[in-house]
Structure 1
Amino acid sequence: MTVNRRDFIRKSAALSGAGLFSTLSPTLRAQSDSTTTAQSAATTLPKPVLLPDAKAVPSKLGLDSRIWTWHRDATTNDSMPANYYEATLPAWDSFPALQGDQVCDVVVIGGGLLGASTALHLSQAGLDVVLLEKHNVGSGASGRNGGQLTPGLARWEAETMMENLPPDEAQRLWRFASIEAMNLIDELSDRYGFNCDRKREHLTAAVHPGHMGALVSSADARRGLGDRAVKIMGPQELKEYVQSDIYHGAALDTIGGQVQPLALLRGMVYGLVQNGGKIHENSAVTEIIEEADGTRVVTEQGVVKARKAVVLGVHYAAPQFLEKGGTTIPFYTYVAVTPSLPMDISQLLPGDLPVYDTQLQIDYYRAVRNNRLLFGGQGTGNSWSPRDVNNYLLERIQTVFPQWEKPELEYSWGGISDITLNGAVDSRKSDAKAPVYAVHGWSGHGVAQTVRIGKSISDDITGRNDDFVMLTRIPHDEIPFNDYIGPVAIPLVKGALTVQSLINPAEMVSF
């Protein structure tokens, strides 16, 4: 079922009153057609190649001060360690900060999956693109998520689309956010020849027998939209895939899968550079100014003027640049990776498929390179400490796999996602000559969809189709003081949903 978080969050927000938005004064800068110093990365950037196993190294990615990475061998005097994804990739070239002023067709703000996909597809269409990243490519959620590929538009799954859209539009949106999104990842990896550990299929495992009815309903809704990719299985058949006694059956989804997200991101950046796109790291945007002849993007070191469009791919930070921001609440998520297991991982996951479960605060896990287990879960309003996260995830691993007596973790890390009231991503386009595009509110479900929506933004700018317009039709409510109520609203929502699940454990709800 679709969880209605709207009332809980709105009531919490009402305690704080109406939101306030600061007005930024336009910053006048002299226009210049001069370009920055040529980027050596344009000719030397290597194609990303996955290492056989992770190497414990310091991170070279600048991080938001609210998130962290932990490694079991690191000390308090060490630099921030690389997370597992960064540690499985060779050293990556940095890109120079923006210096001076430039003019281009499109400015993309944010070096994550959405920004990289948009810029890559624009470069394929022959447009002059400049990508600006506040820290480093992959520093944010795109290089820190669980890597699960699931169909749907954030929390909008097939049933929700059927409830909110006419049948033909629901079918179109479902295909866009499922098979088209997954196929696009394959097309890009084939075109640019990079490996991102792409695997197909995943399981959603029921932690209560009553949840099987919800899995059947979801599969039936997908069938109603022309999707026959889901198979329902009972507990005995599930044992062929997951050696755990806590589940009562599952849905096997042949559209979904898994990916190494930072490798996917770097693969797209590699393609962008091959196509002549420019990238500037450590170039935080301070202001976006829409003018009669284009839109200016201002950083502390320079200005880039866009003739055709500006694209905001900055996830939870997007509202600060939007006139009507505040439709999302940021929250924190956590992932860990074990050392190489003392037994063959096929003894736990004989089917080698990624798994979700159906509890309120879901577990998700999958096998990764060198006989390791990646395990993630939990969503919090405040950032938990590494100790609290590790204790929580170790307890969950022991619950799922009690036969593994003493599980350990080698890596763990936190990240920031954002959630909308209705569960769908918030997609926008301004009315300026060089319009500002923005997409945010992924709710922790959007690895494949960010790549597909990046292509839809490119297609809208080049006039190829109206896929992006379809996304902008989904309405969203504003949330007063959205950046600040998460520590109150998220525990409130989770607490209420926990009570609901205790009263009726057969009803499947998730946060």
Structure 2
Amino acid sequence: MHAKKTIKKPVITNDAIYTQTQNDTIDGDWNWVRNKKQTENPDPGNPANYYESTLSSWETFPALEGDRECELVVIGGGLLGASAALHLSESGVETVLLEKDRIGSAASGRNGGQLTPGLARWEAGSMIEYLSYEDAQRLWTFTSSESMSLIDEITSRYGLDIDRGRGHLTAAIHPGHLNSLVKEADARKFLGDESVSILGTYEIKDHITSDIYHGGALDMLGGQVHSLALARGMIYGFVANGGTVYEQSEVIRFEETENGVRVHTAQGTLLARRGVVVAVHSATHTLLEQDNSTTIPFYTYVGTTSPVAGGIRTLLPTGKAVYDTQFQIDYYRPVRNERLLFGGQGTGTRWEDEKTVDYLTSRLRTVFPEREDLELEFAWSGTTDLTLNGATDSRKLGKYAPIYVVHGWSGHGIAQTIRIGKAIRDDLLGVNDDFTMLTTIKHRSLIIGRQLAPIAIPIAKTLMELESKLSPGKMVSF
């Protein structure tokens, strides 16, 4: 192992500090602030998003140069890569992590920050439908209670502050949607999970100051988190355990050899003797040299408001994160300094900032029509991917050394990502077969699917929206 190093622990500030982002914009994602004159630089170019703006300045890591060897290479510095690297380092595996930009600069540091159980869009009902009772129960436990508790274990072990909130609501926008929520709560109870309570029309107003909902589900297993603080916190632990990080080191390709997997960047190579973890979104199909991907990319949007007059409790009296059940869901939650984080939409082509701000503001006014004072102060886009069956695509490849691949999160899965990182470590060391369990889920290839995303996603959304309008009581969410 490399000698242990001390780096700064990530610290969340009391409120956002306007500044320019330290991340690149390789994938085209943008950040927006209402008044750029408020930033430290009068013309900041690409300002930092809310998450980056609420963290104190942090470590930068050098780029990989030259040719080296190690036991294992992790490609990608998001939540999955950080978790796999952390757990490997805890077990004494000499691990090097390569990130093409900066730690948490992609989807892992740009998402809504809500913790929900399940495997991407697979919830308890889907697991019961496709698996035996024993397998469904095991997978549900893995992607729910085990995933949530692992985050708590990591933050406790390393003394991390990630603004961990507990409990979330699924709010029904149509009376008929309660049937689906009751059915899913029953499926979870059938698998041994009694964390969900069904709320009526009046009960949900104890949690959300809005008249547009007809009840909902309160899930005490879910919650919320500052996802960028979590990603950086795990890297803090990884480095403290002797791990090595290289930023600005995009992996161009890798090749299998009898001595391990040789990973190539523009400036150097790493021979990973015991294997590789591919923990990226958009580059997965390229690195695997596959023409037929199992995922389609799509784009999502999030914003945070100015401090809410009277305090966030005037909107969310119990401080719980919220999803709704409309076709194109809204999700929102309280964050520091009485701000509301609000997100939604999923599109096949990336919206511009002005269109996004107008859309999210209109949704804010729909949910809280009496609060015309609510306005966005930050907004940003994010890039993720989805699979056809809604479950994450997990694979174990390789002739001479294992190559672990996980992608297709469909915009869900912070907690499960952390749990799968641990499962990769366990599989490498032969501790259990948790990762094998994930690989048994079958996925269909989408022929030139990634290229068709700008067309396929709008068509799919149109059909789903039509179904939603024809059967308004049926819950159809995207």
When normalised by structure 1's length, the TM-score is 0.91
Which amino acid in 2 is paired with 1:446? G
1:207 and 2:169 equivalent?
A: no
The CA distance in 1 between the partners of 2:124 and 2:289, in whole Å, is 31
Trace 1:129-148 onto structure 2 (pairs within 5 A).
Answer: 129-148=95-114
1:69 and 2:31 equivalent?
A: yes
1:113 and 2:75 equivalent?
A: no
Q: Following TM superposition, by how much is the alpha carbon of 1:116 offset from its aligned partner in structure 2, in angstroms?
A: 0.3
Partner of 1:488: 455
Partner of 1:16: none
Q: 1:49 aligns with which of 4, 11, 16?
A: 11
Q: 3-state SS of the aligned residue for 2:317? A: coil
Trace 1:235-384 onto structure 2 (pairs within 5 A).
Answer: 235-324=201-290, 325-384=292-351
1:163 and 2:129 equivalent?
A: yes
1:173 and 2:135 equivalent?
A: no
Which amino acid in 1 is paired with 2:81? G
Q: Following TM superposition, by how much is the alpha carbon of 1:315 offset from its aligned partner in structure 2, in angstroms?
A: 1.8
The CA distance in 1 between the partners of 2:227 and 2:398, in whole Å, is 33
Partner of 1:430: 397
Which amino acid in 1 is paired with 2:29? I
197-206 or 65-74, larger mean C-alpha shift: 65-74
The CA distance in 2 between the partners of 1:77 and 1:195, in whole Å, is 31
Q: Which contiguous aligned blocks of 4+ residues in structure 1 show a shift greater than 4 angstroms?
A: none
Q: 3-state SS of the aligned residue for 2:450? A: coil
Q: Deviations 1:399-430 (Å, cap 9, x if unpaired)?
A: 00011023211100000010000000000011
Partner of 1:97: 63
Q: Deviations 1:338-388 (Å, cap 9, x if unpaired)?
A: 111122211110010000000010000011000000000000000001100
Q: Deviations 1:40-98 (Å, cap 9, x if unpaired)?
A: xx634201111111110111112334210001122794221111001110111100000
Which amino acid in 2 is paired with 1:108? V
Q: Does the CA contact (< 8 Å) of 1:288 and 1:295 recur in 2? A: yes
Q: Does the CA contact (< 8 Å) of 1:380 and 1:491 recur in 2? A: yes
Q: 3-state SS of the aligned residue for 2:202? A: helix
Give the aligned CA root-mean-square deviation in angstroms. Answer: 1.3
Q: Does the CA contact (< 8 Å) of 1:101 and 1:304 recur in 2? A: yes
Q: Deviations 1:127-173 (Å, cap 9, x if unpaired)?
A: 10000001111110000000000000000000000011111000000
Partner of 2:384: 417
Q: 3-state SS of the aligned residue for 1:418? A: strand
Give ranges in structure 2 of 5+ residues lacking alignment.
Answer: none
Q: Deviations 1:241-276 (Å, cap 9, x if unpaired)?
A: 001000000100011000000000111000000000
Q: Does the CA contact (< 8 Å) of 1:71 and 1:412 recur in 2? A: yes
Q: Does the CA contact (< 8 Å) of 2:6 and 2:239 recur in 1? A: no
Q: Does the CA contact (< 8 Å) of 1:316 and 1:441 recur in 2? A: no
Q: Following TM superposition, by how much is the alpha carbon of 1:435 offset from its aligned partner in structure 2, in angstroms?
A: 1.6
The CA distance in 2 between the partners of 1:449 and 1:398, in whole Å, is 32
Q: 3-state SS of the aligned residue for 2:293? A: coil
Q: 2:21 aligns with which of 48, 59, 68?
A: 59
When normalised by structure 2's length, the TM-score is 0.97
Which amino acid in 1 is paired with 2:237? G
Q: 3-state SS of the aligned residue for 2:405? A: strand
The CA distance in 2 between the partners of 1:233 and 1:375, in whole Å, is 22
The CA distance in 2 between the partners of 1:445 and 1:316, in whole Å, is 16
Percent of matched pairs sharing the same residue:
55
250-259 or 67-76, larger mean C-alpha shift: 67-76
Give ranges in structure 1 of 5+ residues lacking alignment.
Answer: 1-34
The CA distance in 2 between the partners of 1:298 and 1:482, in whole Å, is 27
The CA distance in 1 between the partners of 2:400 and 2:160, in whole Å, is 36
Q: 3-state SS of the aligned residue for 2:449? A: coil
Aligned pair count? 473
Q: 3-state SS of the aligned residue for 2:71? A: strand
Which amino acid in 2 is paired with 1:444? G
Which amino acid in 2 is paired with 1:253? D
The CA distance in 1 between the partners of 2:475 and 2:209, in whole Å, is 22
The CA distance in 1 between the partners of 2:348 and 2:275, in whole Å, is 34
Q: 3-state SS of the aligned residue for 1:239? A: helix
Q: 3-state SS of the aligned residue for 2:239? A: helix
Q: 1:402 aligns with which of 361, 366, 369?
A: 369
The CA distance in 2 between the partners of 1:100 and 1:64, in whole Å, is 24
Q: 2:192 aligns with which of 199, 218, 226?
A: 226
Aligned in 2, Cα 1:469/1:281: closer, same or farther, shift over 3 Å? same
The CA distance in 1 between the partners of 2:121 and 2:6, in whole Å, is 40
Q: Does the CA contact (< 8 Å) of 2:6 and 2:240 recur in 1? A: no
Q: Does the CA contact (< 8 Å) of 2:5 and 2:242 recur in 1? A: no
Q: Does the CA contact (< 8 Å) of 1:329 and 1:486 recur in 2? A: yes
